[in-house]
Amino acid sequence: MKRSDKDQPLIDDIRLLGRILGDVIREQEGVEAYELVEQVRKLSVAFRRDADQEADRALKKLLKSLSGDQTASVIRAFTYFSHLANLAEDRHHIRRRAVHERAGDTQEGSIEVALSRLRWAGIAPKTIAQTLASSYVAPVLTAHPTEVQRKSILDAERDIAQLLAVRDDIQVRAQLYNSAKDALTPRELAANEALLRARVAQLWQTRLLRYSKLTVADEIENALSYYESTFLREIPKIYADLERELGQYPVHSFLRMGQWIGGDRDGNPNVTAQTLQYALRSQAEMALRHYLTEVHFLGGELSLSARLVTVSPEMQALAQRSPDTSEHRQDEPYRRALTGIYARLAATLKDLTGGDAARHAVAPQNAYAGAEEFLADLRVIEASLQSHHGKALAAERLHPLIRAVQVFGFHLATVDLRQSSDKHEEVVAELLATARIEPDYSSLQALLIKLLNDARPLRVVGATYGDHTLGELAIFETARVLRERFGHEAIRHYIISHTETVSDLLEVLLLQKEVGLMRGTLDEDGAPTLGTGASSLPQAGGGAQASPVRGARAGLGRPGARPGARNDLIVVPLFETIEDLRNAAPIMREFYALPGVAALVQRSGGEQDIMLGYSDSNKDGGIFTSNWELYRAEIALVALFDELPGIRLRMFHGRGGTV
């Protein structure tokens, strides 16, 4: 196929959208405004295509002569045309991928190509599945309070993109069946164009930029719109593709979502305990409403009658526990069970968010204690369908729903907490001064170790603390409550910006201990009984520090021994500048050489996340130096953690980029 033929649909879409935009401008602003925009367009094309210097001079003269209102109109017209052309290009990329897939030609970047290369390299599907089972990949959405494009504009543009997709479907169908068999195509296309015209008119009449700064709540709502339009449905599809490629081997839920919005306080005083609560409540509502919708439609699809099919005893018991007593569904165990599940989800929505479900076949009741209970009920339905000739029915909606619950739980995305190290130091300093332990604290590492080995809290009952200290402690306290409420996956990481010393990590451990996110002390005896199981980590000055490894996570110890300290949030140092990157491995080596630290991390899950920042290192040393130092830091950290059995290193790369 010639390039011109291949790109003709793109050209047609751009012309269509350009024509519609021109019609809207003529209708809304008048013929004179339309002709002005056309004149600018034609002169621009002549100069760009033919290097016409006369056109260039005429264009410059015309633009200089414009009034303020005319300038604004021309800018708006070409801004929207650029947006519409971008939508057409995006659609064309999708269209070309579909053409290649129909021809059996897999595309670069696809799951098929990636797994094919692994097979060519001699890596078996079983090995791939096992690797994924021990993996954790999480794209993380971060806040951008300087974002000026409005959600109203993004929503309208999404609608236009969807209408272009529908238009493609109409035309593909016409090609498959020929116009004689598809007489409705002209009418469908006309109706589609009318909807496009309405959305373009909406764009023209909607203010393009925001005049006021985004609030944290605005940022949260903007981020959630991506889940609704993309992640909740598309991530289960990615897993389905992997399952298809790996065949009999199960695919672990290694791909999840992360979020900073609502928990990132570094440089943003508007992020508080209240915004953290709002973020997780909003996320839970998004997830639960998605599940309610899917369960509702699943109930419509699983109309199977017990007079015609058999169900498992577990499925029958699930149906009998349902509060659905309608005589019309007495022989429909799946529907009865799903009505009960819907009622439980509706009660969960009310408990966690205060919201009400859209439908009520029976009253909300018996809320789920956690996503695991909901998942268990869905598994009962799945097992019954698969063992009674219903595999096809399970594949359509139930499997994607099960995967969504595994990935998103009731929390939707893991919210990371982040604050600058100097802010933690201020809190610790005030706590110590008020408790009359240390009047002039400044990162005294030995003192921090001593306090982490002291079971007593630092706060003095009845004492007055500053707003900053109270606000920071409130974040930690709220994190503990929200983990209990929404599940432990709701908040897992505490990121420390500008990590420069070991004390920066110890301060966050101490603040966790202060609110009950760390239980026990570093020197508590959690030694295992299964063998000697100790690791030796060479210290900077020679010597080694022994730490328990095997059995510690399972709580195995000598009779009567204390289980040992555990902390709930993974302490994540962020190394950003060139100097920080060079110090990353030495700081982590010194941290793990401290008595009790390695054992604490092992008992708490054996995970250590380390964040490496790209932005500051680029600004600090330039792109080449930044990438070289990032590489060196990664290699040094991997070598260090190879010496730490029982602890898994996970790199968190702060590269940035659009959704």
Single out the catalytic residue among 60, 61, 360, 619: 619
Distance between CA atoms of 298 and 359, rounded to whole angstroms?
14
Q: Respond yes or no: is residue 126 known to be catalytic.
A: no
Contact in structure between 515 and 476 (CB atoms under 8 Å) = yes
Which residue has tokens 């797994």? Answer: 115
Residue 64 among the catalytic residues? no
Query: Strand 534-539 and strand 542-548: pairing?
Result: antiparallel
Residue 224: which residues within 8 A CB-CB, separation 6 or more?
Answer: 282, 283, 286, 412
Class of residue 37 by CB neighbours under 10 A (exposed 0-12, middle 13-18, buried 19+): buried
- Enumerate residues 6+ apart whose C-beta is below 8 A from 611: 495, 572, 573, 574, 575, 651, 652, 653, 654
Q: How many CB atoms lie within 10 A of CB 503?
A: 25
Could you tell me if 378 and 398 are in contact, meaning their C-beta atoms sit under 8 angstroms apart? yes
Contact call for residues 490 and 564 (beta carbons, < 8 A): no
**Which residue, 453, 457, 432, 456, is CA-closest to 442?**
432
What gap in Å lies between CA 589 and CA 398, rounded to an integer?
47
C-alpha–C-alpha distance, residues 455 and 444, integer Å:
19
Q: Which helix (H) or strand (E) holds 537?
A: strand 534-539
Tokens found for residue 24: 């809207």
Q: Rounded CA gap, 466 and 406, in Å?
A: 41
Closest CA to 444 of 465, 421, 428, 466: 428
Other C-beta atoms within 10 Å of 371: how many? Answer: 21
Cα radius of gyration (the chain)? 30
Strand, helix or coil for residue 425: helix
Spatial distance between the Cα atoms of 87 and 98, rounded to a whole number of angstroms: 17
Please identify which of the residues 64, 144, 411, 498 carries the catalytic annotation.
144
Residue whose pair of structure tokens reads 């451990």 in the numeric block? 509
Angle of CA points 12, 14, 16, to nearest 5°: 65
- Tally of CA atoms within 13 A in the half-sphere of 319 that contains its CB: 24
Residue 161 and residue 91 in contact, taking contact as beta carbons nearer than 8 Å? yes
| SS3 assignment for 239-259 | HHHHHHHHCCCCCCCCECCEE
Residue 299 near residue 335 (C-beta atoms within 8 A): yes
Closest CA to 276 of 420, 138, 476: 476
Active site residues: 144, 619
